[in-house]
Structure 1
Amino acid sequence: MVKGNYQWTIQKYQRVLPGEFAMNHMDLLTGYVDISKYDGVTSPDYRVFSVRDNNDFYSRYFLYLLQDGYKQRRFFHLGQGSAHLGRWRLPTEAFNEIIYPLPSLEEQVKIADFLDHETAKIDKLIEKQQQLIELLKEKHQAVISHAVTKGLNPDVLMKDSGVEWLGEVPEHWLCSKIKHIALLTPKKSAANFKPNDECTFIPMEKLKRNSLVTDESKFIREVINGYTYFEENDLLLAKVTPCFENKNIAVACGLVNRVGFGSTEIYVLRPTEKVQVNYLLYRLQEDNFIRAATGAMTGAGGLKRVPSDFLLNYPIAIPPKSEMDAIVDYLGEQEARYDLIEKNATNAVQLLQERRTALISAAVTGKIDVRDWIAPDISDIKATEEATA
């Protein structure tokens, strides 16, 4: 088939029809299985199959059974390959010899219908918790944005910042640029350390939002060349996508000998006496900054970076020290509050997911008897949903 100048072919793929199973048997660690809703193609490495006889075997029952096999790792002992490399495949011979519990067709249908109904209820609860988590993140960000651009006093006199997207700022705040309040990438030649001293080492994956994983140390002589140098209370900022968009920004704390080295994809900002490091942390997590910096990124694909010139010349409004301290204290309290609510919601999602997995496992292995289960009337379901909405 020719579409424009693009030659499209399915010769290297295998056909999958609606109602057929598509199974990633090449990876029992992160792979999965599902029933196709479409007439299409899939990887030749996947396993495509269907039940032999619809009069004896109900596909949705076997789907739950196979998905439970992945979730509970029931197939894992049959695998071959290199699990540590993410390649733990289920050979065809072993797959064909797996013995499955086989109730009557009527009970297979009843089990599948029961699970369709119950998992749909759990999925709705999970969706609500996930929506709550997203709403909490939005509200938390709005609190940060308002505090670091407008302050905490709603009655304060305002002035035009001179920056279109920033708008008005408190009249007594100082409008400046980052290069006037912080030093970017301090020179290690001015540092006071010895080559045989130990230091904290921070690869990119250990720079998180508001925290560093400081469990790795090296001798300074091993990292002094080719890595980014920083000290206690410096601000570390991921410069590369997607780490930057994920707001992987943190204050360096708890460093071995108060010195650290890390990935060259990290910017280091050392605040002057004009700004508190935690205020700058919150300011650079504000959405307008993230959007503007993302738009200014240079490079290609997954290697886009925030230019240093953009960072240095980014406009920022600075409150007096006492007000800055109050803003930092306030945002710290708010962050603890929002983090606790989000943690509870995340735990609720995890418990619901565990409940879902356990329910499927119990139903397809006969641990619970659903032969007498009757599907609720749809009108009753809608009334219950409206009452709990």
Structure 2
Amino acid sequence: MKKLRQYPSYVDSKVEWLRNIPSHWEVVKSKRIFIESSIKGFPDEELLAATQTKGVIPKSLYENTTVTATKNFETLKLVEMGDFVISLRSFQGGIEYAHYRGIISPAYTILKPQEEVTPKYYRYLLKSKRYISGLTLLVTGIREGQNIDTSKFKDSYLPLPPKEEQTNIANFLDYKTEKINRFIKKKKHLIKLLKEQKAAIINQAVTKGLNQNIAMKESGIEWLGEIPNHWKLDKLSRLLKPKGLIRGPFGSALKTSFFVKKGYKVYEQKNAIYKDLTLGDSYIDSEKFEELKRFEVKLNDFLMSCSGTIGELHQVKGDFKKGIINQAMMIMRMKKIIHPDFFIWLFRSEYIKTTILDSSKGSAMKNLVGINEFKAVKIPVLPLDEQKEIVSHLEYETEKVNKTISTIQKEITLVEEYKKALIAEAVTGKIDVRDFHVPLENKRQLKGAEATVN
């Protein structure tokens, strides 16, 4: 940013979020830049959705967005590519840019740019962090119900650079953000590869051991393949203590209506997923605890998530609150022939993940296999000393990968912040890009990237 020059002279815009602007720019009311449009009667157009992350796009590209409950498409409003939409939740995300022509719910306000406007300049401006910071002055309603007040928006002030300059700023930002986005995409792909590498390291260690030259034998299990000759395979049920597998209570046995402010803690999936027993504030009284005492959490128990995010394991250690598990959890109590840390690493392996997931056709969401199938899962049994060696190896190797991932994630965060700052500085005139020209070799690439601003 420091290498980019400023304009020769500035004036006070008298708009708090905008601050000083180039002296030849205008500051005008939004209703001079946009006029409200409410054209109806185009039922054959494609249904559009307004989202805070992708703008105004075809409903088919954003399945989770509910656009309208009406079946009378004649009442829906026509949106043209390049229009802007004040969506139902615009307070948090700003004003959305239409990337397509189509129809949208009459609950949305459609804003059509005037002749003196380059739409893609305002696409950047209205999503810039400076403009978003000023949206609190334009909202109506309270809390979650806050939306941009259209009348307040029309009377609010926006910068109006000369049209040619608007186009130049937009072209500059298209070029710069496209380069930044490609950098981020590559870094995210690298993170994906590193995570795959980490998964492979884990799976290799807990299913094949560390000695690549050791004699191997067939396990007889498709997902496991060969294992070291001196390893055994045993059913999980044989490695559990007596009554050492406890699935959480049925839903009717533990309802939210039973919860109290203080008492015995109810442990949830997030305790296993995030490896933190302090999370959650659901409690039951002593009477309900005694009724459900067979689901009590004890020291050294393994807590496992059983719904949605399946197979996340956490061992109960140190200080913890007396309590029980809920319906989406499972307790496992293991014999000492399995090292606790090795058992946790084993459950992070692809072998276990694949084995304990219900792969029944037609399942909308992954579920845990039936309890009998779960008990029958074959677990590698190997000398404790070897288990400890594998644990040490995995702690060292995965920590190296995690540090690399963390470094890359920090790079992405810094670059994303730079992109936001660059956009904010360019659209508010804090940097002068009038002499910028897109390099010839990049013009073709920009045509494909022009419709998307991340």
Q: Identify whether the pair has TM-score above 0.5, normalized to the shorter chain.
A: yes
Q: State the match for 1:50 in structure 2.
A: 112
Q: State the match for 2:246 in structure 1.
A: 185
1:319/1:255 CA distance change after superposition, 3 Å: same
SS at match of 2:332: strand
1:42/1:302 CA distance change after superposition, 3 Å: farther
1:330/1:220 CA distance change after superposition, 3 Å: farther
8 A Cα contact 2:172 2:436, kept in partner: yes
Instruction: Tell me how many residue pairs correspond in the alignment.
Output: 360
Of 123-132 and 136-145, the range deviating more from structure 2 = 123-132
Shift of 1:313: 1.2
Q: State the match for 1:104 in structure 2.
A: 162
Describe how 1:340-351 pairs up with structure 2 within 5 A. 340-351=403-414
Q: State the match for 2:267 in structure 1.
A: 202
Rounded Cα–Cα distance in structure 2 between residues aligned with 1:141 and 1:75: 44
Rounded Cα–Cα distance in structure 2 between residues aligned with 1:213 and 1:299: 35
Deviations for 1:254-276, whole angstroms, at most 9, x for unmatched residues?
Answer: 4426x453432011212111211
Shift of 1:171: 1.0
Q: State the match for 2:298 in structure 1.
A: 231
8 A Cα contact 2:94 2:135, kept in partner: no
Of 120-129 and 295-304, the range deviating more from structure 2 = 295-304
- Opposite residue 154 of structure 1, the aligned amino acid is Q
Shift of 1:251: 2.4
8 A Cα contact 2:140 2:149, kept in partner: yes
Shift of 1:42: 2.9
1:68/1:265 CA distance change after superposition, 3 Å: same
The runs of 5 or more residues in structure 2 that have no matched partner are 1-42, 45-69, 250-261, 446-454
Shift of 1:176: 0.6
Shift of 1:78: 2.1
SS at match of 1:212: coil
8 A Cα contact 2:358 2:368, kept in partner: no
Rounded Cα–Cα distance in structure 2 between residues aligned with 1:304 and 1:357: 40
Describe how 1:264-343 pairs up with structure 2 within 5 A. 264-296=327-359, 301=364, 304-343=367-406
8 A Cα contact 1:297 1:305, kept in partner: no
Report whether the alignment pairs 1:73 with 2:113: no
Shift of 1:158: 0.9
Identity %: 26
Report whether the alignment pairs 1:19 with 2:82: yes
- Opposite residue 170 of structure 2, the aligned amino acid is A
Rounded Cα–Cα distance in structure 1 between residues aligned with 2:90 and 2:373: 43
8 A Cα contact 2:82 2:97, kept in partner: no
8 A Cα contact 2:120 2:170, kept in partner: yes
Report whether the alignment pairs 1:157 with 2:221: no
Rounded Cα–Cα distance in structure 2 between residues aligned with 1:169 and 1:9: 63
Deviations for 1:228-274, whole angstroms, at most 9, x for unmatched residues?
Answer: 53223322221111x22xx53322334426x4534320112121112
SS at match of 2:357: helix
Report whether the alignment pairs 1:251 with 2:315: yes
Rounded Cα–Cα distance in structure 2 between residues aligned with 1:164 and 1:8: 51
1:248/1:118 CA distance change after superposition, 3 Å: same
Shift of 1:215: 4.8
Rounded Cα–Cα distance in structure 2 between residues aligned with 1:76 and 1:66: 14
1:198/1:299 CA distance change after superposition, 3 Å: farther
Report whether the alignment pairs 1:33 with 2:96: yes
8 A Cα contact 1:239 1:265, kept in partner: yes
Rounded Cα–Cα distance in structure 1 between residues aligned with 2:86 and 2:370: 44
Shift of 1:304: 4.2
Shift of 1:137: 0.6
Report whether the alignment pairs 1:131 with 2:186: no
1:47/1:291 CA distance change after superposition, 3 Å: farther
Shift of 1:317: 1.4
Shift of 1:89: 0.7
Q: State the match for 1:212 in structure 2.
A: 276
Rounded Cα–Cα distance in structure 1 between residues aligned with 2:395 and 2:167: 53
Shift of 1:47: 2.9
Q: State the match for 2:57 in structure 1.
A: none
The runs of 5 or more residues in structure 1 that have no matched partner are 189-196, 383-389
**Which of residues 362, 368, 378 in structure 1 aligns to 2:425?**
362
Shift of 1:31: 6.1
- Opposite residue 136 of structure 2, the aligned amino acid is F
Deviations for 1:172-231, whole angstroms, at most 9, x for unmatched residues?
Answer: 11111111113212899xxxxxxxx9766533334325x225255768738725695322
Q: TM-score, normalised by structure 1?
A: 0.82
CA RMSD of aligned residues (A): 3.2
Of 291-300 and 63-72, the range deviating more from structure 2 = 291-300
Q: State the match for 1:148 in structure 2.
A: 206
- Opposite residue 178 of structure 2, the aligned amino acid is A
SS at match of 1:175: strand
1:332/1:222 CA distance change after superposition, 3 Å: farther
**Which of residues 416, 427, 438 in structure 2 aligns to 1:353?**
416
Deviations for 1:134-179, whole angstroms, at most 9, x for unmatched residues?
Answer: 1111000000000011000001111111212211111111111111
Rounded Cα–Cα distance in structure 2 between residues aligned with 1:167 and 1:379: 49
8 A Cα contact 2:203 2:349, kept in partner: yes
Q: TM-score, normalised by structure 2?
A: 0.71
Shift of 1:302: 5.3
1:70/1:10 CA distance change after superposition, 3 Å: farther
